[in-house]
Amino acid sequence: MAVSGMSAGRSAMRMGPAELVQAAAMARRFYLEGKSKIQIAEEFGVSRFKVARVLETALERDLVRIEIRVPAELDAERSDALRARYGLRHAVVVESPADAEESPDPENLGEVAADLLGELVAEGDVLGLAWGRSTIHMAAALDRLAPCTVVQLTGVYDAGTAERGSVEAVRRAAQVSGGDAHPIYAPMLLPDAATAAALRNQTGIARAFEYFDKVTVACVSIGSWEAGISTVHDMLTEEERSHYASLGVAAEMSAHLFDAEGRRVGRDLGERCITVEADRLRRIPEVVAIAGGQRKAAAIDAVLRSGLVTSLVTDTSAADYLMAAGPAPRPALDRADPDGP
C-alpha cells in the first residue's frame, strides 16, 4: 500500500489542501499504523462515520493505493477460484514450466508444497507421507517443519530403491522436524493378498500402521492410469492393467483406484498393497495432494471428487482444466464416502 499526498492525481485534486492532508494522515493511521476508526476519530475530533467517509474517498480518488503482491510463481486468482470450486481448505497454483505438457509434477510443485507443510504442520502433529515422485521432491525441499512424528503411508515402488525414495523422504522430514521416523521397508504391491497380509503383521510394518489413525497431516501424490504417470499402473501386468481399465479407472492415489466421478473401483487391488486404507485417509484432518500437468489434470479432478483430499498444490496447466471440468463437484470438505458405507 502506498499513501500519497499532493501527487494523488487529477481526481484527488478536487479536495482542498487541508482535506488532502487530513485524509492522508487518517489513511496512514488506519492502513500503516493499524489504528481503529474510533481511535482516529478521537484523535482528529470527528465522528467515526466521518473517518469512514474520508477513507472511502481516499480510495476512490486514488489518494490511497492498495496492492496485493504474491511471489511471481504463485497464481493467487487461480488458487482462490480452484479452492472455491472444489470446496478445498487450501489450493495453491504455481506457474507451469514451459514444457508442462510433457512434464507432470514439475519439481517446483514439491518446493511450494514444502513451504505449505511448513505452515500446516504444528508441534506434536503426526505427518504421513505416501509414495510419489512429488512427495519425494517435497521432502527434499523441506527446510522448516515443526517438531512432529513422520510415518510412511505406503510401501515403496521398488524395495531396491527405498533409500532414494519414500523411505528417504520420511527420514528427511523427520530430520528437519527433529521428530521420530517410522519408515516401511516393503514394496507397495505384492503378488497376492496373503503375502501382503503377512507383511503387514511384521513388527516394523505393524508399528508404522499403528500410527495411521494418529496422522493429522498427510501428503499424497496422484497418478493417471497410463504408463509413466502412475506407479501402480507400471507395476501391474498388461492383463491386470486392461482389467482395471475396463472398470473405468481414471486415477490412482496411494494404490486406490478411482473412476472419473471419484468413485473407488478395483478395491481388490488394495488387498495386495501395503498402503493406508481409504477410510483412514478420509479421517485424516488434512490431506494435501501434490500433482500437476495436463496429463494428470483429469486424474486430479477424479481424486478431488472422491472427497479424500482437503488441499491441493498444482500448476496453471492443470488448474485451467480443472476449472472447466464438468459440473462443479460437491465440496471436498464434505468427506462422506461417495460410494456409501
Give me the phi and psi of 256, to 5 degrees please.
-105, 135
Say which residues have a Cβ less than 8 Å from residue 42's Cβ, sequence separation at least 6: none
Q: What is the mean pLDDT of residues 311-331?
A: 87
Task: Give the lowest-confidence range in 100-114, 235-249, 257-271.
Answer: 100-114
Assess whether pLDDT exceeds 50 at residue 62. yes
Q: Is pLDDT at 70 greater than 70 in this prediction?
A: no
Averaged pLDDT of the chain: 86
CATH class, 74-334 region: alpha beta
The predicted structure's pLDDT at residue 11:
40
CA 45 to chain centre: 49
Give the model's pLDDT for residue 156: 84
pLDDT of residue 166: 77
The average pLDDT across 226-255 equals 89
For residues 257-264, average pLDDT: 94
Higher pLDDT, 72 or 81: 81
C-alpha–C-alpha distance, residues 20 and 147, integer Å: 51
C-alpha cell at 244: 482395471
Choose between 49 and 1: higher pLDDT. 49
Of 14-23, 37-46, 194-203, which range is least confident?
Answer: 14-23
Domain boundaries 17-61, CATH class: mainly alpha
Q: Calculate the CA 187 to chain-centre distance.
A: 26
* 69 confidence band (pLDDT: 50, 70, 90): low
Q: How far apart are CA 330 and CA 262, in angstroms?
A: 11
The beta strands (E) that lie in 171-243 are given as 181-182, 217-221, 223-224
| Rounded distance between C-alpha atoms, residue 12 and residue 154, angstroms | 62
Same fold, 17-61 and 74-334: no
**Distance from the Cα of residue 270 to its chain's centroid:** 24
Angstrom distance (rounded) from CA 152 to CA 156: 9
pLDDT at 275 over 60: yes
Q: What is the dihedral of CA 99, 105, 111, 115, to 10 degrees?
A: 130
pLDDT at 299 over 80: yes
When pLDDT is averaged across residues 170-178 and rounded to a whole number, the result is 95
pTM: 0.77
Complete edge-to-edge strand list for the sheet that includes strand 149-152: 90-94, 311-315, 286-290, 217-221, 126-129, 149-152, 181-182
Q: Which is more confident, 67 or 227?
A: 227
Bridge-based pairing of strands 2-3 and 64-65 is antiparallel
Cα–Cα dist 181/166, whole Å = 12
Amino acid, single-letter form, for residue 220: V
Please determine, for residue 340, whether its predicted confidence score (pLDDT) is greater than 80.
no
Instruction: Please check whether residue 254 is in contact with residue 154, taking contact to mean a CB–CB distance below 8 angstroms.
Output: yes
Which single residue is written with the C-alpha cell 479424500? 308
* Domain extents in the chain: 17-61, 74-334
Lowest pLDDT segment from 10-19, 64-73, 283-292 = 10-19
Helices 316-323 & 76-86 angle (0-180, nearest 10): 40
Quick one: what percent of the chain has pLDDT higher than 70?
Answer: 86
* The residue type at 305: R
